[in-house]
């Protein structure tokens, strides 16, 4: 983590170091492999049903704001569409 001055004297801004970004990419890649191995146990229709259900659940969480920060901090923001404004929970601001 790199620390820099925040917006005012009461805060600090934190950012990942290059090593931190490498670790983040490694963790996200491992998580994706693990999820793919689980989903491989299902047929195409079952995978589609799960995808629809999860998308609905995420939209509802986004509408209520419940647990938004807890969920988003574990997210792969490239995969969820956050950077394109497509995230079902927290569109890019």
Q: Given this model, what pLDDT does residue 29 score?
A: 92
Residues in the chain: 93
pTM beyond 0.85: no
- pLDDT at residue 9 in the model: 80
CA 49 to chain centre: 21
Instruction: Give the Cα separation of 37 and 53 in Å (integer).
Output: 19
Span 63-88, average pLDDT: 75
Question: Could you read off the pLDDT of 3-55 as tens digits, one per residue?
Answer: 787 788 888 888 889 999 999 899 989 999 999 999 999 999 999 999 999 88
Q: How far apart are CA 15 and CA 19, in angstroms?
A: 11
pLDDT at 40: 96
Sign of the four-CA dihedral 56, 57, 63, 69: negative
pLDDT at position 57 over 70: yes
Cα distance between residue 43 and residue 78, in whole Å: 26
């Amino acid at each position: 983590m790199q620390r820099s001055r925040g917006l005012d004297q009461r805060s600090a801004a934190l950012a990942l170091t290059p090593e931190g970004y490498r670790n983040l990419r490694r963790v996200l890649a491992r998580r994706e492999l693990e999820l793919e191995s689980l989903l491989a146990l299902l047929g195409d229709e079952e995978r589609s049903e799960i995808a629809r259900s999860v998308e609905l659940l995420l939209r509802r969480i986004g509408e209520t704001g419940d647990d938004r920060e807890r969920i988003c901090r574990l997210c792969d923001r490239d995969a969820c569409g956050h950077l394109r404004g497509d995230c079902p929970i927290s569109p890019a601001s």
